[in-house]
């Protein structure tokens, strides 16, 4: 409850902070490195992917990077269509797990966690990861 | 009269029981939701039976499938 309230309230702070847009897409190696770091420090994370400015998969866990790209694009398209405006963050909690998606610095990241993962921490870590990547690419 | 360390242990156990009960209630009571956050801090919830909500849950389900089960940590 507290985490959800914090996620809801802090998103405005993050939205007002200038995000350095990635001038060029970060390299696959740097995306792999930050994704590995995120995976390492998030015990609830089942899998995640980092998408470039054009929606291409820069890095993904598991064996199916193409599917990550397709399914993440479908999620973001459905989220944008909900109110016909681009979303900044998505949090969907189901019985099978939780899905997070975030946009920042011209990049996007999606992650799937166990149920009851701490949403505020997960979104904070994913945003930090994108910021780090965008900073490296600029 | 109880020994001081007994009182401390009982107090810690009581807090642990409270926390466990809270987590149990949370697991039972929490329903699936789809929450979208927009620039400026606005957020919107979409019910699973709405058109937008249904699409979001379908897309989320595919991602959960591609992520697979929980990783084994070594």
pLDDT of residue A15: 43
Residue among B60, A66, B64 nearest A58 (CA): A66
Region of B31 (left: φ > 0; alpha: ψ -120 to 50; beta: rest) is beta
pLDDT of residue A29: 86
Residue among A58, A19, A60, A42 nearest A120 (CA): A42
CA distance A68 to A74: 10
Query: Best residue in B46, B66, B71 to probe A by mutation, most A CBs within 10 Å?
Result: B66
Phi, psi of A107 (to 5 degrees): -115, 175
Mean pLDDT of B43-63: 94
Question: Is the pLDDT score of B55 beyond 90?
Answer: yes
pLDDT of residue A26: 81
Mean pLDDT of B6-24: 90
CA distance A130 to A50: 8
Query: Best residue in B19, B25, B37 to probe A by mutation, most A CBs within 10 Å?
Result: B37
* Chain A residue with the nearest C-alpha to that of B58: A75
Greater confidence, B16 or A22?
Answer: B16
Q: Please answer yes or no on whether B36 and A90 come within 8 Å at the CB atom.
A: yes
Q: Please answer yes or no on whether B32 and A95 come within 8 Å at the CB atom.
A: yes
Question: Is the pLDDT score of B25 beyond 90?
Answer: no
Q: Confidence band (pLDDT; 50, 70, 90) for B63?
A: very high
Q: Which domains does chain A have, with CATH numbers?
A: 2-137 (3.30.450.30)
Report which DSSP code applies to A24.
Answer: S
Q: Is B12 helix (H, G, I), strand (E, B) or coil?
A: helix
Q: What is the pLDDT along chain A (138 residues), one digit of tens a residue?
A: 555 555 555 544 444 444 445 457 788 788 999 999 999 989 999 999 999 999 999 999 998 899 999 999 999 999 999 999 999 999 999 999 999 999 998 999 999 999 888 899 999 999 999 999 988 766
Q: Confidence band (pLDDT; 50, 70, 90) for B22?
A: confident
pLDDT of residue B69: 84
Q: Which two tokens stand for residue A130?
A: 């994108």
pLDDT of residue A20: 44
How far is CA A36 from each of CA A91, A96, A129, B12, rounded to the nearest angstrom? 21, 23, 10, 37
* Chain A residue with the nearest C-alpha to that of B40: A12
C-beta separation of A76 from A70 below 8 A = no
């Amino acid at each position: 409850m507290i985490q959800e309230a914090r996620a809801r309230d802090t998103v405005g702070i993050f939205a007002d902070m200038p995000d350095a847009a990635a001038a060029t897409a970060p390299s696959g190696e740097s995306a792999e490195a930050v994704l590995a770091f995120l995976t390492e420090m998030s015990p609830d994370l089942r899998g995640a992917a980092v998408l470039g400015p054009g929606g291409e998969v820069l890095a993904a866990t598991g064996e199916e990077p193409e599917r990550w790209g397709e399914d993440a694009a479908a999620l973001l398209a459905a989220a944008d269509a909900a109110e016909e405006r681009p979303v900044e963050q998505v949090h969907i909690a189901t019985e099978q797990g939780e899905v997070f998606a975030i946009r920042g610095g011209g990049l996007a990241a999606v992650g799937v966690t166990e149920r009851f993962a701490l949403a505020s921490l997960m979104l904070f870590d994913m945003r930090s990861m994108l910021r780090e990547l965008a900073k490296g690419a600029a | 009269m109880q020994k001081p360390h007994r009182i401390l242990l009982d107090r810690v156990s009581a807090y642990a029981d409270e926390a466990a009960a809270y987590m149990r209630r949370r697991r039972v009571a929490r329903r699936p939701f789809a929450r979208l956050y927009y620039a400026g801090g606005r957020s919107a919830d979409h019910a699973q039976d709405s058109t937008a909500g249904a699409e979001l849950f379908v897309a989320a389900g595919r991602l959960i499938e591609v992520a697979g089960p929980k990783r084994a940590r070594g």
